[in-house]
Amino acid sequence: MLLINRINSFYDDVQVLRDLSLDVHEGEVLCLLGRNGAGKTTTLKSIMGIVPPRSGEIMLDDTALHLLPPHEIAGQRVGYVPQGRRLFPQLTVAENLKIGDYARHTADSQRERVLSLFPVLKARLKQKAGTLSGGEQQMLATGRALSVDPVLLLMDEPTEGLQPSMIQLIRDVIIGLKKEGVTTIVVEQRVDAVLQIADRVAFVENGTVPMVVNASELADSDALINRYVGVSHQPLAHGDPPS
Amino acid sequence: MDFWPYLLLASLEGAVMAAVLALTALGLSLVFGVMRVVNVAHGEFFMLGAVLAWWFSSVSTQWFGISPALAFTVAFIMSPLVTAAVALVADRLVLKRLNYQPEATIVATIGILYIIQQLALTFYGPDARPVVAPFSYRVQLPWFGYSGYKLFVIAAAVFLLGLVWFLLSRTRAGLLMRATQQDYETAQAFGIPVSRVYAGVFAFGAMLAAMAAVLIVPIQQAHYLMGLDPLLLSFIVVIIGGLGSLRGTLIAALLIGMSDGIISVFFSPTLAKILATTLVAMVLVFRPQGLFGDRPQ
């Protein structure tokens, strides 16, 4: 499905990703786990072409994403939920969703599908995105990415700063998309969240992926978590308060 | 003349000034708002619009023998299009290659300013030349007669500003511009070809300046140095209104244009410029983001 082969990405002269390789299977949920600054967000940005790799390959099935200009990557049905949501705050909810539709260059809109997943947005269509609550903004950011009708969905800390009910809603959406066959890569700081949704977990450390494990293996290994996430990682308990 | 009719005359002059200034400054504001490029060459696109209007109008009249009204129409269509094409070339050859870096593009647009100005001097010459107004109808008011063309300029500018508003708020191109303005990185991630949007906005900004110039050139003559004043006034308007705020730009253009017109009639044009620059200084000191700009985070 998605094959990342030894990519090297930089911010100006600072190298962030070093020969990072990753193989993501069709229809799976893969979580990227690692300390702050390890390169998780940059991995997603490199896939999206926002931080294009200077060397290496990113193949989505037979399409070489690393050779495409950034604005053509979304057209390959790659949806992106950036860290901090990055909505267009002065545009309305409807316009934000329309931007999602734009990437596919087709007349059919995914708006009804998005609104059925997040009905609360229906009453907010004419409201500016910047005036929504944090939870509503996350719904819109997710909905905007779904407007691309993605086969590959990239989500960067989608539960960051959300209340428990909202976290559960986002998790349900990810699980629902998995049932529809959508491949998802999620950057997540919360180990308990990872365990609930992930099929596999890729640890990111110093700009590379030293290890990929099944999510079930993670549950039994505090040593792995301590090594790659740090001793201060979120607890494994269920129903805990939001970060 | 009594005071009130005199004030009405001054206000009409101010309204003409405000209308043309609003169109010109809107172009500058759009370019800065979407691209974060301070286009120092904006006044030269205004000048180019006026010079090309003279050329198209003269050629149409002398070579094809058409009426002044039709010649003006040809100039009004062709001059902004050619100016937009020149801006497009400048964007592709210079700004895009500089990756639209704010500091580098300031220096680059200063270079573009001199290139356009010297080309105009070389091919157009140092003389100021008039463009014949499309009609010479005078509106007779109870106190004085007033140029029908000047009233047309006000109406045409208001119509064009309305079209720009429609384009920005009701069309897909406008939506892409607004999205790019707010977050170009995320816009790119959703399939918006940011580089093409930038090129389009730069050309569109130049086109607005050229349209303003074509409207004003039957009142002021076309001259290769005429770009400086509109540039200065546009900067004043954009700074007072708030960089990138289109609503602020329109309101500030009305404020500066009207005050310039009225003060010029009652006192002197120099005093009008002194007051406008003083107002800018006060805005920069007390409200650096402008009257309608967003407060920096």
CATH classification at residue A222: 3.40.50.300
pLDDT < 70 regions, chain B: 1, 295-297
Q: What is the dihedral of CA B69, B71, B77, B80, to 10 degrees?
A: -110
Is residue B34 within 8 Å of residue B197, measured between CB atoms?
yes
In this complex, is the C-beta atom of A38 within 8 Å of any C-beta atom belonging to chain B? no
CB atoms within 10 A of CB B136: 11
Interface contact flag, B175 A95, Cβ < 8 Å: yes
Interhelix angle B194-216/B172-182, nearest 10 degrees: 110
pLDDT of amino acid A35: 87
Instruction: List the one residue out of B197, B98, B89 whose CA is nearest residue A71.
Output: B197
**Residue A154, in any domain of the structure:** yes
Instruction: Give per-residue pLDDT as tens, B26-36.
Output: 999 999 999 99
Helices (H), B91-171: 102-124, 148-170
Could you give the CA distance from residue B234 to residue B212 in angstroms, rounded to a whole number?
Answer: 12
Check CB contact of A129 with chain B, cutoff 8 Å. no
Cβ separation of B191 and A86 shorter than 8 Å?
no
- Bridge partners for A31 per DSSP: A186, A201
Integer Rg of chain A from CA: 17
Interchain contact, A74 vs B179, CB within 8 Å: no
**Torsion over CA: B16, B159, B60, B122 (sign):** positive
ipTM at complex level: 0.86
Per this entry, what is the length of chain B?
A: 297
pLDDT at A27: 93
Q: Token pair of B250, please? A: 């329109």
In-domain check, residue A144: no
8 Å CB contact of B186 and A86: yes
Per CB-CB distance under 8 Å, the chain B contacts of A90 are 178, 182
Task: Give the nearest partner residue to A102 out of B186, B191, B194, using CB atoms.
Answer: B191
Sign of CA dihedral B224, B228, B231, B234: negative
**Which residues of chain B make contact with A71, given a CB cutoff of 8 A?**
188, 191-194
B189 closest CB neighbour out of A70, A89, A95: A70
The residue among B49, B103, B87, B26 whose CA lies nearest residue B220 is B49
Q: Tokens 């140029």 identify what position?
A: B147
Taking contacts as CB-CB distances below 8 angstroms, the residues of chain B near A86 are: 183, 185-186
Which residue in B172, B178, B189 is closest to A48 by CB distance?
B189
The domain total for chain A is 1
The distance of B178 to chain A (nearest Cα, Å) reads: 8
- Look at the block and give the residue holding tokens 């590959």: A152
Could B191 and A91 be called an inter-chain contact, meaning their C-beta atoms sit closer than 8 Å? no
Residue A214, number of CB atoms within 10 A of its CB: 11
Q: 3-class SS at B2? A: coil
Residue A30: which domain range?
2-82+150-228
Which DSSP letter does residue A120 get? G
Contacts of B199 (CB under 8 A, 6+ apart): B88, B91, B92, B96
Interface contact A71, partner B, CB < 8 A: yes
Is A80 part of the contact surface with chain B (CB cutoff 8 Å)?
Answer: yes
C-beta separation of A53 from A6 below 8 A: no
B283: alpha, beta or left? (left if phi > 0; alpha if psi -120 to 50): alpha
Query: Which of A156, A152, A184, A205 minimizes the C-alpha distance to A41?
Result: A156
- CB-count burial class (<10 Å; 0-12, 13-18, 19+) for A235: exposed
Question: Does A126 contact chain B (CB < 8 Å)?
Answer: no
Task: Work out the minimum CA distance from A107 to partner chain B, whole angstroms.
Answer: 13
Q: Beta strands A63-64 and A55-60: pairing type?
A: antiparallel
Q: What is the DSSP string of B137-157?
A: -EEE-SS-EEEHHHHHHHHHH
Q: What is the pLDDT of residues B44-64, one digit of tens each?
A: 999 999 999 999 999 999 898
Q: Do A103 and B190 touch (CB under 8 A)?
A: yes
Mutation target for B interface from A51, A81, A88, A156: give the one with most B CBs within 10 A. Answer: A88
Are residues B181 and B171 in contact, defined by beta-carbon separation less than 8 angstroms? no
Q: How far apart are CA A139 and CA A130, in angstroms?
A: 13
**Low pLDDT (below 70) residues in chain A:** 106-108, 231-243
* Partners of B138 in beta bridges: B147
Residue A104 contacts B where some CB pair is shorter than 8 Å: yes
Interchain contact, A103 vs B191, CB within 8 Å: yes
pLDDT digits (tens, 9 = 90+) for A169-218: 999 999 999 999 999 999 987 777 777 889 999 999 999 999 899 888 87
Burial of B126 per CB tally in 10 Å (0-12, 13-18, 19+): exposed
For residue B74, the model assigns a pLDDT of 96
Amino acid at B17: M
Q: Is A85 on the interface with B (CB under 8 A)?
A: no
State how far residue B43 is from chain A, nearest Cα, in angstroms: 30
DSSP 3-state of A183: strand
> Residue B185: its chain A contacts at CB < 8 A?
50, 86
CA separation for the pair B13, B220 (Å, rounded): 13
Query: Any idea of the CA torsion for B177, B239, B263, B219, to the nearest 10 degrees?
Result: -40
Positive or negative: CA dihedral B242, B245, B248, B249: positive
In whole angstroms, give the CA distance from residue B7 to residue B265. 9
Strand ranges (DSSP E) for chain A?
A: 2-11, 14-24, 29-34, 55-60, 63-64, 78-81, 152-156, 183-187, 200-205, 208-214
Strands A152-156 and A29-34: unpaired
Which of A82, A86, A98 shows the shortest C-beta gap to B175?
Answer: A98
For A61, left (φ over 0), alpha (ψ -120 to 50), or beta? left
Residue A105 domain-assigned (yes or no):
no
The number of beta carbons lying within 10 Å of the beta carbon of residue A196 is 17
| Alpha-carbon span A79 to A155, nearest angstrom | 8
Q: Does A99 touch chain B (CB under 8 A)?
A: yes
Q: Which two tokens stand for residue B106?
A: 């300031």
Give contacts of A103 with chain B, Cβ < 8 Å. 190-191
How many other C-beta atoms are found inside a 10 Å radius of the C-beta of residue B68? 17
Length of chain A: 243
